[in-house]
Structure 1
């Protein structure tokens, strides 16, 4: 088993560096072996840190919507790792050549002012500095998005980047359950939602991540930025048109533009 985990990690890393997609990896592992998938993701991240000189700056939570969980056949979220070269400030312009199958989703992100060494809600809330609007840039190293949960987790929970807005609101000043978001492609509305779509309250996603991080011996640290999960639907990120997520309660907006030829 350790050999196949290392082999899959190498394959995913090579797919990233050579820009060549690979077949799904779930068929090479025991069915829904999420622990093995997380070990693969960790090994790929370690390779990126060593070979590219990257450092970890945050984490993302995915699968926060019960409907999406049911489709994936899981009963809990998943998580991925955010490296320093994955964080961009709005408005951002990115080349389509940097992605395999670009998609985008709008979220709220949390930035920590202290380590989280206990996962009770009070400790989690006390560690948060501020909340900011964000978009997650979603991608994968496979031929399509017909992934199983093992495929998704192994490939860093499909996280390829984050775009942050300029507004920073101290945690506790706004009821995040009530924050509304509308995501536009140009002038076309694509999806909308409220913060309460994220596990009832985005803070619940952060608490789940804190619990999970402590369980695996990698606690959340001061300064980390944490994506809490999509408020609306995930959508295709088409090139040569501006995508903007507009938020209520003073959070402003986040803007991202993909340039270059469309993907096949």
Structure 2
């Protein structure tokens, strides 16, 4: 295991963030290698690889991190929540996302219609959190990759089968204690959220991996993230349903 992976895993375990720039990465390949090594540490500690999150799926977020493409992070079973405490996190944010539940293995060569047939979709919320001090949006592209795409938690509502057309222009509205915080549309996610899942399947295949049945994919945010605070968050999606996250101190 590399020193970078050891430091990131320690920061994750102790919730003691690293200073930005303390870890150096020479390439995207090296950063993903560190991500894999951090995941191996988590698995050795009893966690199970459960799914993925995809980041930088809009032009606005790509511009923030000086990127020309999305990136992905690997998430474990302990990240799936419907309630959490701020004290367990560093500097958490909240995002409005649809979550794909993969029922059949997805191939990079699959059409978007085939991917929709192989997945169910749930209303979701994602909680990004970085293992760096003052991380958003000041970390680098490689730092974000190495840190598992700054994954913190994911919340899923009831999943169902949908068509490509059903997800073409879904509106998502985020509420905190009943007050609207922000709203956005599924078109912000690479034009359509299933495009994000196809991108992931292709990215994994380029590394000799596959998007397998039983995984989840948090497909990308409809809005720029908001700082997470205590209270009850609800995301309501046109035609898809809603999901709730309770945040304690």
User: What interval of TM-score do these two structures reach, taking the shorter chain for normalisation?
Assistant: over 0.9
Aligned counterparts of 2:113 and 2:157: Cα–Cα separation in 1: 26
| TM-score of the superposed pair, with normalisation by structure 1 | 0.88
Aligned counterparts of 2:112 and 2:62: Cα–Cα separation in 1: 27
- Residue 28 of structure 1, aligned match among 21, 24, 43: 24
Pairwise CA RMSD: 1.7
- Residue 89 of structure 2, aligned match among 96, 99, 102: 99
Unaligned runs of 5+ in 2: none
Moved more, 123-132 or 187-196: 123-132
* Runs of 4+ residues over 4 Å off in structure 1: none
Q: 1:1-264 maps to which residues of 2 (within 5 A)?
A: 6-25=2-21, 28-30=24-26, 33-51=27-45, 53-88=46-81, 92-121=82-111, 124-125=114-115, 128-145=118-135, 146-166=138-158, 168-172=159-163, 174-239=165-230, 241-249=231-239, 251-260=240-249
Aligned counterparts of 2:190 and 2:68: Cα–Cα separation in 1: 12
| TM-score of the superposed pair, with normalisation by structure 2 | 0.93
Give the total of aligned pairs.
247
Give the 3 Å change call, closer, same or farther, for CA 158–124 of structure 1 in structure 2.
farther
Q: Secondary structure of the residue that 2:168 maps to in structure 1?
A: helix
Aligned counterparts of 1:126 and 1:188: Cα–Cα separation in 2: 33
Give the 3 Å change call, closer, same or farther, for CA 151–84 of structure 1 in structure 2.
same
